[in-house]
Amino acid sequence: MPHRSTEHEVLAVVFQVRQLTTRNPQLSVLLWERAMEPQRGAWSLPGGRLRHDEDMTSSVRRQLAEKVDLREVTHLEQLAVFSEPDRVPGARVIASTFLGLVPSDATPALPDDTRWHPVDALPPMAFDHRPMVTHAHTRLIAKLSYTNIGFALTPKEFALSTLRDIYSAAIAHPVDATNLQRVLARRGVITPTGTTARSGRSGGRPAALYRFTESSYRVTDEFAALRPPN
């Protein structure tokens, strides 16, 4: 039977690198648990139907604020359209996905039905939301190679070890801090602040602090790639 109408929804794949103070920093995605059928109890990306009086970017920002109380998104961009005719039950719904990034030091208060989940250990997910996460992660990995998008995942000031941990968690393989600093400094992406971090309990020389030179997205080297070590 042909579909009589088509609706449009916007869904946000929001990433944050968490557990930076542990030995196992993790790239995590924000999900909320469905309380109603269909697929009650499955985990979903935040978002919802596009209203007739708003554009898609305004819609996804509104729904992140209203539904999961998330306002600390430092980068948001449209990624892809998922338009399989039967991707959800009932009337046909086309989904536009957005990539959202939250700094590692942000601590948003979330509703009880909303949690951060490690990307490498996703729970059972509703509809086609799992491939949406996979697609967004793939795009993030690529963008970390050839743009300055790392600014949206880091604190305003950071040590090179923190930057290394964030990049390593986000691209899912180890990154050498010295090489990363050399590449990003050569492209003019990061710059030293001239200050140092506080000494830890073990003492030692305080680490130099860096910052991203810009807090807006730009391409820095369109042919670059961060590859796993041999």
> How far is the C-alpha of 65 from the C-alpha of 12, rounded, in Å?
12
Sign of CA dihedral 132, 135, 141, 146: negative
Please indicate, yes or no, if residue 229 is contained in any of the structural domains.
no
One domain for residues 28 and 75? yes
One domain for residues 169 and 127? no
Length of the chain in terms of residues written: 230
pTM equals: 0.93
One domain for residues 30 and 54? yes
- Region of 101 (left: φ > 0; alpha: ψ -120 to 50; beta: rest) is beta
Per residue in 107-160, pLDDT tens? 998 999 999 999 999 999 999 999 999 999 999 999 999 999 999 999 999 999
Match 């939250």 to its residue by tokens.
Answer: 102
Per residue in 30-54, pLDDT tens? 999 998 899 999 999 999 999 999 9
Please indicate, yes or no, if residue 84 is contained in any of the structural domains.
yes
One domain for residues 116 and 162? no
One domain for residues 45 and 14? yes
One domain for residues 133 and 174? no
Please indicate, yes or no, if residue 168 is contained in any of the structural domains.
yes
Please indicate, yes or no, if residue 219 is contained in any of the structural domains.
no
- At 212, give phi and psi (nearest 5°): -75, 140
Please indicate, yes or no, if residue 113 is contained in any of the structural domains.
yes
> How far is the C-alpha of 142 from the C-alpha of 19, rounded, in Å?
23
Number of structural domains (the chain) is 2
In a 10 Å sphere around its CB, with 0-12 CB exposed, 13-18 middle and 19+ buried, how is residue 195 labelled? exposed
Please indicate, yes or no, if residue 225 is contained in any of the structural domains.
no
Between the CA of residue 138 and those of 109, 119, 170, 205, what are the distances in Å? 27, 11, 10, 37
Domain that includes residue 110, residue range: 6-145
